[in-house]
Amino acid sequence: MDKPIKKIVIVGGGSAGWLTAGVLAAEHKVAQQQSLEITLVESPNVKTIGVGEGTWPSMRNTLDKIGITELEFIQQCDASFKQGSKFINWQTGKDGEFYYHPFMTPEGYSQIDLQKHWQATHSQQAFADTINAQYHTCEMGLAPKQIATPPYAAVTNYGYHLNAGKFATLLQKHCTKKLAVKHLVAHIERIVSSPSGDIEKLATQDGQTIEGDLFIDCSGSVGLLINKHFNIPLIKQDNILFNDCALATQVPYFQQNNIASATLSTAQTSGWIWDIGLPSRRGVGHTYSSAHISDAEAEQQLRQYIASSIGDEESEKLSVRKLAFMPGYREKFWHKNCVAVGMSAGFIEPLEASALAMIELSITMISEQLPQTRQQMDITAKRFNSRFSYRWQRVIEFLKLHYVLSQRRDSDYWRDNQQTVSIPDRLAELIELWKYQPPSRYDFIENEEVFPSASYQYVLYGMGYHTQSHQHQTLFENNKIAEQLFAKVQLQKQQFQQGLPTNRALINHYCQQQ
């Protein structure tokens, strides 16, 4: 008889574990139906990493689905609004240069070749600034909506910056109190297999056994089930993405500074520094390649960056912690009755904040395609593995694009990043193609691409790439309509500046609500 799936066991808490529990429990109405049991077990001996402070706009839908209000989320997670990423000193390394990758897709993007008209008539103005008013809202530190805008609704598309530790705590409380997720704090000592090779149950240090039909590994980079038990290897990507270390710290505000509306990413000699504005502090860190710079030099660059805003004396007081990682992803994510989500599935540097987004994508597919029986699970697993191998490859290519396009040659790190041997074949071919035509939907044909072609255009033309113009004009190249759209962007800038509060003002409004 084909065994039904009735018990789901999630190993590990943190953002990955509790988001998984929340989405599954909410979507399958666990609290109302009792037909599915979800247990999350986490070890008292393992601390969550607590980084990963940036989300994509998809998080709004995820939180809404779970049943967490936006007010509750912002108040309890020290959260702020994120409208994209600002890349500083990536192009040539000259101080002051920057470009944006905003979250909004430009109006008219799929109807008109905006890039060609920008290149022909507006190239003295930044690409994103010409085609998208969100560049301006970020530069002005504006919020993505007005005080009266309903929860999770937007004037400009947005995600969040958040305190990852507080986020996990909120999710845990919500899942256990409102969604009927069982929470067990216990150290797993042994994994017991059935004759088929599936995981049958987990044995804990205090003598408990936890049986399950589907096990979800959210145990972080240790990969307790997918790695330690099943020995599914990591496909290393350190030959493409060199960064394998990070130094992280928390920087206090000394007055009520405005909160940046984008993640700031500032290139260094052998990596880059992230700067994330939360209401109560900034999360700042330096991710770098240990093959190109020492920990001491990386820390010096980090403290130097922080000192520019709070002074040398305060910068030296901050405690810094080091994280080391191997960039890569699993050969398989779903093996037998076990599926890996989060860092157990893979990890790469947080350049475009893809970590939480990949968690969301994983649990959405697991939840919506949840197998009814063990026999069905093998088909679902095959499809899941295919989809997520594709997604990891696209994320890696997109991140590598930032390095390949840079004109920096001031260190071995930047020179090595532009060596042909470090560039994936598919990416190299696309970069060659984009000499003749801009990135388009024909380059990314999956129905749920991780990064759409518009994102590639933001990076490509933000970094000064040049695409040759066609000798003949097509209907897709309507200069009149393009000019009207550009004029509309300039009008929107004025409207947003007049009508939108600052990021800090809107967050303060949320935090003052009862």
Residue 475 has pLDDT above 70, yes or no: no
Q: Which pLDDT score, from 0 to 100, does residue 50 have?
A: 59
User: What is the pLDDT at residue 471?
Assistant: 67
Three-state DSSP at 268 gives coil
Q: Is this model's pTM higher than 0.85 or not?
A: yes
**pLDDT score of 1 more than 80:** no
The Cα–Cα gap between 5 and 12 comes to: 20
Mean pLDDT of 501-510: 96
Cα–Cα nearest to 259, from 154, 161, 157, 159 = 161
- Which band of pLDDT confidence, cut at 50, 70 and 90, is reported for residue 456? very high
Q: Which residues contact 104 (CB under 8 A, 6 or more apart)?
A: 83, 84, 132, 133, 134, 156, 157
User: What CA–CA distances, in Å, run from 235 to 52, 128, 239, 291, 389?
Assistant: 22, 35, 11, 19, 10
* Confidence at 476, pLDDT banded by 50, 70, 90: low
Look at residues 289, 282, 62, 262 and name the one whose alpha carbon lies nearest to residue 174: 62
2, 218, 301, 422, 456 from 88: Cα distances, Å: 56, 34, 15, 23, 17
Could you tell me which CATH number the domain at 7-53+163-234+331-393 has?
3.50.50.60
The tens digit of pLDDT for each residue in 21-54 reads: 999 999 999 999 888 999 999 998 877 765 558 9
Size (the chain), residues = 514
Cα separation, 241 vs 348, whole angstroms: 8
Contacts with 196 (C-beta within 8 Å, 6 or more apart), sequence order: 336
The answer to whether residues 418 and 400 touch, using CB atoms and an 8 Å cutoff, is no
Residue reference for tokens 């779903």: 334
Greatest alpha-carbon span in the chain:
75
The predicted model gives 487-500 an average pLDDT of: 96
Out of 184-193, 422-431, 461-470, least confident range: 461-470
Which residue would you say has higher pLDDT here, 34 or 103?
103
Residue 140 reports pLDDT greater than 60: yes
Gap between the Cα atoms of 78 and 274, Å rounded: 18
Instruction: Using the predicted structure, report yes or no on whether residue 257 has a pLDDT greater than 90.
Output: no
Residues paired with residue 277 on neighbouring β-strands, in sequence order:
282
As a whole number of angstroms, the distance between CA 24 and CA 415 comes to 45
Instruction: Measure the CA–CA gap between 299 and 273, rounded to whole angstroms.
Output: 11
Domain boundaries along the sequence of the chain: 7-53+163-234+331-393, 245-324
| Region 372-389 average pLDDT | 97
With a CB cutoff of 8 Å and minimum separation 6, the contacts of 478 are: 112
* Distance, C-alpha 421 to centroid of its chain: 27
Tell me how far the alpha carbon of residue 451 is from its chain's centroid.
11
CA angle 331, 337, 338 (to 5 degrees): 50
* pLDDT given for residue 479 in this prediction: 84
**Residue 155 scores a pLDDT above 60:** yes
pLDDT, tens digit (0-9, with 9 covering 90-100), for 210-220: 999 999 999 99
The pLDDT-based confidence of 446 (bands split at 50, 70, 90) is confident
Two tokens at 329? 């992803």
Residue 181: CB partners within 8 Å, gap ≥ 6? Answer: 21, 22, 25, 30, 38, 39, 40, 175
User: What pLDDT score was predicted for residue 34?
Assistant: 81
**pLDDT tens readout for residues 6-24:** 999 999 999 999 999 999 9
pLDDT one-digit tens code per residue, 310-343 = 999 999 999 999 999 999 999 999 999 999 999 9
The answer to whether 275 and 260 have CB atoms below 8 angstroms apart is: yes
Least confident of 43-47, 125-129, 162-166, 191-195: 43-47
Structure tokens at 341: 């989500």
Q: How buried is 393 (Cβ within 10 angstroms: 0-12 exposed, 13-18 middle, 19+ buried)?
A: middle
Across the chain, mean pLDDT equals 95
d(CA 55, CA 356) in angstroms, rounded, equals: 6
Q: What proportion of the chain, given as a percentage, has pLDDT over 70? A: 97
Give the pLDDT score at 2.
82
423-440: average pLDDT:
97
How does pLDDT run across 263-289, given as a tens digit for each residue? 999 999 999 999 999 999 999 999 999
Instruction: Dig out the tokens for 415 from the structure.
Output: 């020179």
pLDDT value, residue 97? 95
